[in-house]
Structures are given as C-alpha cells and as structure tokens.
Amino acid sequence: MNHHPPSPVGRVLTVVLGALPFTVITLLVFEYWPPLARWDQSVAGRAASYGAAHEGVVDFWQVIGAVVLPWTSRAVIVIVAAYLWHRRARLLTFWLLTSAVAELVLVQTVQQIFERQPPAQALVETSGYSYVSGHATAAFVMAGALGVVLPSVRGWRRRFRLLVLLPVIAVVWIASADRIALNVHYISDILGGWALGLGILTATSIGFGLRPGLRRRRRRTPSDGDGTAAPPRAAVIVNPIKVGDGVAFRRKVTRALEIRGYDEPLWLETREDDAGNAMAKQAIEYESDLVLVAGGDGTVRVVCSALAHTGIPVGVIPAGTGNLLARNLHIPLDLDDALERTLEGRDRRIDLVRVHGDQLDTDHFAVMAGLGLDAAIISDAPPHLKKQIGWTAYLVSAAKNINHPSVRVTLALDDAEPIERRVRTVVVGNVGMLQANIPLLPDARPDDGLLDVVVIAPRRVTQWPIVLWRLMTRTNRTDMYLERFTGRKVEIHAAVDVQRQLDGDPIGPGRYLVCEIEPGALTARVPKRR
C-alpha cells in the first residue's frame, strides 16, 4: 500500500493534537491544580533535603548539568544538520535547523510570558524563570528529531533505530533529572518542557511535509495465490563523480526498491568516455521496468536520448550542478525526498528535442540548447567552484562574460520566412525554468509538442537590468532586447563560430543548430500531483 500524505485538515489536526499536551500542562500549572502542585512541592522538598545532606551528589549533578546544557543539544542538531547538508538531504537539514531555532525562541517566549520563579530551596545559584525547563525542552527536541523522526523518515531498520533511540532517551532523562536533583525546576517544569518539545517537533515535521518511510513489503512469488508475475526490474545508472558517497547511495536505493517489490537492481556506472549511452542500452537489454539515473544534466540527457521511444520510465535522481530537468519536473533536490517521490510517482510522457549541427552528430536534449552567451557562461564556469558551491558558480562565469560580443544570426521557425537578428544569445527550450526559479521561457511545457525560443539582445551592459527585470516579471512584451517565439522546428545560423550547449553541457563552438520537437518521446517518472 502506498503511503498517502495527510489532507490539509489532517495536518492541522495533527499539529493541534501535538500542541494539546503542552496546553493542558500549562493550564494545570497556572490554575494551581492541587494534585500537581502537591507533587511539585513534595519532590522539590525531598530534593532540597537530600542535596543539603549530600554535597558530593550536588557536585556530581553540577558537572552533569555543565555537559547537558541546552546549547549542547542544539550543537548536536547543528552537527547532524551539517552532515545531512553534505549528503544533499537539504529538506531534512532545514527541518532540523528550524526545529532548533523554534525551540530556542519558544522557550524564551514561554518563560517571559509566565515568569514562574524556581523553587525557593534551589541547591545552586540560578537565574531566569523555571517554566518551561530549557534543558528538558532542548534535550527532548534533540532526542525526538534524531531518535524518532529522522530514522522514521529515512526508513532505518529497527535495530539501527534502537541504537540511536536508547542513547538520546538517556540524554533526556539525565538532562531532566539534573534539573530536579539540583532543585532548580519543578516536576511540572520538566513535563511542560517535554510537551513543548513534542509540539515543536509535530509542527515542524508537518510543516516540512516529512513522512515515515515505507515498511518492508514481502515480495510476490509464483506461489502467492494467483500472483504469477515476476517482480519488476530496475536499472540504476550512476555518474560516480557526481554521487558523493557511492556505497551509502547504493544501499539506500537498493533498499528503497526492495521495499517496493523490485528485484535486485542492475547497477551501471558511467565512464569518462561514455556519459550513459551504453549503460542505457544495457538497461534496455535487461528489460527494465524502470531506469533511475543519478548524475548531472549531461548524464541525464544522454540516458534520456538513448531511452527515447522505448516506453521505459526514466526517474531522475538529482546529483549534478544544474539539475534542470529535475527542477522542471518538480522532482525535489533533496536526495531522500527525490528517491521517495520518484518511486512513488506516476509516468508522464514528455517531449524530447532532436538536434544536429556542424561538428555535432544527431542527438537529443530534454531541457535547453543554447548558442552564444549562455553557452559561454556554461563553458567558463570553474569546475572546482561547481563542485564546491553548485550552480552559483555560473554567476561567477556570468560576471566574466558580461561583455560577451553579440553575433548576427538567422532564425528560421517551421515554414516561416527566416529573420535576422544581432544577439547575445539564443536559447531553444523544451522546458522553461532555470536555477533559482528564473523563468527564462515561462510558457514552455515539457509535453506541449512545441519548442520555445528566446532571443536576448541587449546592445550595452547597462541594458542587462532591463532584460533581467523582463525575465523575472515574466513580461511578454516583445522589443529589441528580448523576443520569444514558438514552433516545432527551428534553425539557427550564426555568422561566426560561437559557443554552444545542450542541457548544460558545452559541445564546442559552431555556426548552426537545428532543433526539432519529438512529441511524447520519453516516459518520465515524476511525483504524483498533490
């Protein structure tokens, strides 16, 4: 059974239920509910008496308290968030950091609102208010995030969950017991802290759309009643340069396929001399029911080209600098989220574009082809910066090429009369969005059977802000700086050799490109509509 995300009403109800324990405890504390008030005073009195007679015990708990500070729990969250960022789990990174910030802000806010004084017989000097316990709240958020939510979302096996859960539960108990032993918090302060932590985790998890991983499914076998079909097959084509931790990636993908009933996947790695063509042909020979491709835009383009018209669904796992096809198909850039949303997704027929030109064999692209400035930016982007800072490396290259010379080109769309323009760049797109959600071709759709063409032609550097404003505001007005066209076939001829690119891959200088749409040529596995 597929896991379906909760409805908006269900999400709101879950958040309300998560906040309910804190609301109830707070009301009981400040309405001075007798049983809770007596419990608070009884425990505080016993802690004061015991601590006064056992100074060594007090010293021990002071040392413990210095270790389990709220900032220690927050630091652990930040360290784990940094690790997840390195592993490209961006959604989980932001969720962890948001949870930590929410805990810090809400603890301070609650304390300032209620201004509850700590027990009168505190065994150590303390400042601030006691409701809620910052130690208990921070420890609970850390433990819940790292020991419950994170393992559940990432689908860890049970034994690994226990290895993490038991230590973090111990930290919560130690941090809370320390506050009681030193008599700086009441029992209700601790309970309120735990309840506030629960509310924070519930709200942030729902807000970020985190969902538990799927349980392992038993594979179908021919003996399972009337189930005679063999399990589906998957091939995984990986660019090892783009996928950082290959062993962990392979383990994660294999398990994700296994729990969805797939047979052991066929693993294929691209080579320096082959970006994926031979690997895609092997996947076809393997009679794959699904091909996953993890790499940059170049790897994705080559694999999609080889799988054109085969009907085999292609699922893109973003691992490169631009990830433009993934962005335009609404595939998350977070590795774990992308894997889940793709495997649980639907098949969608999209167009490919057949292209050829001088010094270029007939090929395909799925995103965009360009001639002029955009290709020069891609060609000049420093590889080490692309590896370190991702697509923002193109901004460095754009600054270097801001004065890229214009060139005279002739454009012929379908059967219309050719037109001449002096341009900085010409881009032909099957989709329209660039990085940072820049709508270069706002009307482009991957399944509309049309090519979208944009001609960008500012005469001077000072006119670039006008062009950028037109792009960002999706202005459809045509003028000498920016023109858009549509058609099924476009021929571009330049007066001199200029740089060219296909889907973010430089293909060397040349004078012409001929692009023609192939409607519905590729079956893509995309996330389900929400």
pLDDT at 217 over 50: no
Task: Specify the pLDDT at position 1.
Answer: 34
Three-class DSSP category at 179 = helix
Instruction: Tell me which CATH code domain 360-518 carries.
Output: 2.60.200.40
The pLDDT confidence band at residue 161, using thresholds 50, 70 and 90, is confident
pLDDT confidence bin for 384, thresholds 50/70/90: low
Q: Which CATH number fits domain 234-350: 3.40.50.150, 3.40.50.720, 3.40.50.10330, 3.60.40.10?
A: 3.40.50.10330
Give the model's pLDDT for residue 377. Answer: 84
pLDDT of residue 223: 40
Query: Which residues on neighbouring strands pair with residue 500, listed in sequence order?
Result: 371
With 60 as the cut, is the pLDDT of residue 450 above it?
Answer: yes
Most confident of 134-148, 391-405, 423-437, 470-484: 134-148
**What is the pLDDT confidence band of residue 148, given thresholds at 50, 70 and 90?**
confident
pLDDT of residue 435: 72
pLDDT for residue 401: 75
Q: Is the pLDDT of residue 66 over 60?
A: yes
Give the per-residue pLDDT at 212. 63
Separation between Cα atoms, residue 441 and residue 518, nearest integer Å: 19
- Listed ranges 265-269, 359-363, 385-389; the one with the highest mean pLDDT: 265-269
**What percent of the chain stands above pLDDT 70?**
89
Q: Domain ranges in the chain?
A: 8-207, 234-350, 360-518
- The token pair at 448 is 């509309």
How many CB atoms within 10 Å of residue 427? 24
pLDDT tens digit string along 165-187? 899 999 999 999 999 999 999 99
**CB of 481 closer than 8 Å to CB of 456:** yes
Angle between helices 134-144 and 158-181 (to 10 degrees): 180
pLDDT at 228 over 80: no
Q: What is the pLDDT of residue 385?
A: 62
Separation of alpha carbons 339 and 125, rounded Å = 51
Average pLDDT over residues 204-233: 61
Alpha-carbon distance of 223 to 133, in angstroms, equals 58
The predicted pLDDT at position 3 comes to 40
Residue 387: pLDDT over 70 = no
Segment 285-301 mean pLDDT: 91
- Looking at the predicted structure, is the pLDDT value of residue 336 above 70? yes
How far apart CA 384 and CA 444 sit, in angstroms, is 32
Identify the CA nearest to 401 among candidates 427, 426, 379: 379
Per DSSP bridges, beta strands 234-238 and 266-269 are parallel
Same topology for domains 234-350 and 360-518, yes or no? no
pLDDT for residue 6: 54
Q: CA 443, 446, 451 angle in degrees (round to 5)?
A: 65
What are the tokens at 356?
């050829």
- State the Cα–Cα distance between residues 211 and 232, nearest whole angstrom: 25
- Name the DSSP letter for residue 31: T
- Res. 137: pLDDT tops 60: yes
Least confident of 8-17, 36-45, 233-242, 494-503: 8-17
- pLDDT-based confidence at residue 216 (cuts at 50, 70, 90): very low
Taking the chain, what is the end-to-end CA distance rounded to the nearest angstrom? 18
Q: Does 335 or 259 have the greater pLDDT score? A: 259
Mean pLDDT of 381-392: 64
Average pLDDT, rounded, for the chain: 86
* Across 99-113, 169-183, 247-261, 512-526, least confident range: 247-261
Say how far apart CA 88 and CA 91 lie, in whole Å: 9
- pLDDT-derived band at 39, boundaries 50, 70, 90: very high
CB 323, CB 295: distance < 8 Å: no
Q: What is the pTM of this model?
A: 0.60
- Residue 388 — pLDDT band, cuts 50, 70, 90? low
The pairing of strands 407-413 and 489-498 is antiparallel
Residue 500 has pLDDT above 50, yes or no: yes
Cα 382 to Cα 202: distance, rounded to the nearest angstrom: 42
Q: Which residue has the higher pLDDT, 90 or 94?
A: 94
Q: Is the pLDDT of residue 160 over 80?
A: no
Q: Compute the distance between CA of residue 84 and CA of residue 322 in angstroms, rounded to an integer.
A: 20
86-95, 99-108, 293-302, range with the lowest pLDDT: 86-95
Q: Read off the pLDDT of each residue in 292-321 and give the average, rounded to a whole number.
A: 90
Residue 219 has pLDDT above 50, yes or no: no
- For 84, phi and psi rounded to 5 degrees? -65, -35
Amino acid found at 333: L
Going from the C-alpha of 385 to that of each of 274, 322, 381, the distances in angstroms are 24, 13, 8
pLDDT value at 4 more than 50: no
Query: Would the pLDDT of 221 be above 60?
Result: no
